[in-house]
Amino acid sequence: MKIYSYGKQDISQEEIDAVVGVLNSDTLTQGPKIKEFESAICEYTGATYCVVLTNATAGLHLSMLALDVAAGDEVITTPTTFMASANCVGYAGGTVKFADIDPETANISVCEIKRQITSKTKAIIPVHYAGQSCDMEAIHDLGQKHGFYIVEDAAHAIGSDYKNAKVGSCAHSDMTVFSFHPVKNITTGEGGAVTTNSRELYERLLLLRSHGIVKNDSQLTCAHGKWHYEMHRPGFNYRMTELQAALGLSQLKRIGKFKEKRRHIVSLYEKLFSKDSRISFLEERDYSNACFHLWPALIDFKNLKIDKKKFFDQLWKAGLHLQVHYVPVHWFSYYRNLGFSRGDFPKAEMYYEQTVSLPLYPSLSDDEVGYISKTFLMALNNV
Ligand SMILES: *Cc1c(COP(=O)(O)O)cnc(C)c1O
């Protein structure tokens, strides 16, 4: 029996050759492929600067440090996300606040952000859920008015457009963070990137990526000789390897094709489920042209008196190893211990109850999407 999960990488022979090429070269890390990949991401997104990293979690961590988030600062994000979007605030010593979602898009609601802003709000981390951009102009306007920074968590959204610009252009933010985990839109095995248009933020990210080490003559405080280096701020080792960068470079070339295929599969699901009133989908706003990372089906299990747990057991038995994105972050014991409770963000909680992510990745054929849809409906009818 073939197993279908919600996401999966697509690796070509050209990509395998690119990685083998690096293995046969003299440089496995800190070489030319990193710079090439960073330039390619800049060219693709329209951002001025890019720093590639070990993963998106590292990117979120460094973005908070680059903004000097510290004790006493508040940072607002959404509860409907992977926990890394919230955890990064704590890494820097800041306090996480959540703003509830707009249930039509599952993205952070601008009205709900307004309710969470205080004099301590230092930054906002909007997450482009499922690949659809948040309402960035509205969030940027709020940022201008209240004086906070904006870091886009675009882990789902490389390839997506917001109002004729690519997500990652940072037209309405200070930094954008991408993930290249194998389930995401393009992969480097593990990997991430931060884009920015600020030279100052770029230099801070570079410094923090590699131990805080300074080697450039212009940055050194004294000149000993060629061997000399200094450390100005304790950084980390969040460096991506050359192998990963070579893979990423090749994947980025195919992102247009991936996007087309992902949107095609989404339109097939919409057609195949259109006659079943029990199933609905998220809406795509006019400002968005998403490279969809997820395609969640929404089912009101409670009202329909369908046991979601039994439904999932049936799906898994039939080879559909599906997932739910996401358990609301404030439900985790760590956040409950910080004072959050069930009931705090009812729209995110209702969304969690209703959502099931359907398989969505480029190698799925039309026939497979048909088979998955049929199997899904059969399980729904059988519980
Ligand atoms: C996957 C993901 C991350 C973390 O990405 P890694 O590259 O695995 O660190 C962060 N935020 C969101 C919304 C994600 O989906």
pLDDT of residue 233: 87
Interval 181-201: pLDDT, tens:
999 999 999 999 999 999 999
CB 304 within 8 A of CB 365: no
CA-CA distance, 224 to 227, in Å (whole number)? 8
pLDDT of residue 185: 98
Q: Is the pLDDT of residue 4 over 90?
A: yes
Q: pLDDT band for position 228 (50/70/90)?
A: confident
Q: In the predicted model, what is the mean pLDDT of the chain?
A: 97
| Structure tokens given for 56 | 């998106």
Q: pLDDT band for position 77 (50/70/90)?
A: very high
DSSP string, 40-97: HHHHHH--SEEEEES-HHHHHHHHHHHTT--TT-EEEE-SSS-THHHHHHHHTT-EEE
Interval 127-139: pLDDT, tens:
999 999 999 999 9
Domain shared by 322 and 224, yes or no: no
The CB-side HSE value for 193 (13 A sphere, CA atoms) comes to 35
* C-alpha closest to that of 192 among 205, 173, 207, 204: 205
CA-CA distance, 161 to 93, in Å (whole number)? 33
CB 95 within 8 A of CB 261: no
Verify whether ligand 1 is closer than 6 Å to residue 56 (CB atom): yes
Q: Is the pLDDT of residue 224 over 90?
A: no
pLDDT of residue 223: 74
- Output the domain CATH number for residue 277: 3.90.1150.10
Domain shared by 115 and 239, yes or no: yes
Domain shared by 242 and 271, yes or no: no
CA-CA distance, 194 to 149, in Å (whole number)? 15
Query: What's the number of domains the chain is made of?
Result: 2
pLDDT of residue 324: 98
Q: Is the pTM of this model over 0.95?
A: yes
Q: pLDDT band for position 351 (50/70/90)?
A: very high
Provide the domain limits for residue 178.
Answer: 4-253
Q: Whose CA is nearest to atom 1 of ligand 1?
A: 155
Residue 353 CA to ligand 1 centre (angstroms): 22
CB 79 within 8 A of CB 341: no
* Least confident among 203-207, 219-223, 326-330: 219-223
Beta-bridge partner residues of 5: 321
- Output the domain CATH number for residue 169: 3.40.640.10
Domain shared by 200 and 263, yes or no: no
Residue 83 CA to ligand 1 centre (angstroms): 8
Q: Choose the final residue of a domain: 253, 286, 316.
A: 253
Name the percent of the chain lying above pLDDT 70: 100
The pair phi, psi for residue 348, each rounded to 5°, is -65, -35
Domain shared by 65 and 98, yes or no: yes
Q: Is the pLDDT of residue 217 over 80?
A: no
Q: Tokens 């859920």 correspond to what residue?
A: 129
Domain shared by 40 and 69, yes or no: yes
Q: pLDDT band for position 215 (50/70/90)?
A: confident
Verify whether ligand 1 is closer than 6 Å to residue 82 (CB atom): yes
Verify whether ligand 1 is closer than 6 Å to residue 192 (CB atom): yes
Domain shared by 173 and 285, yes or no: no
Q: Which atom of ligand 1 is nearest to the CA of 81?
A: 13
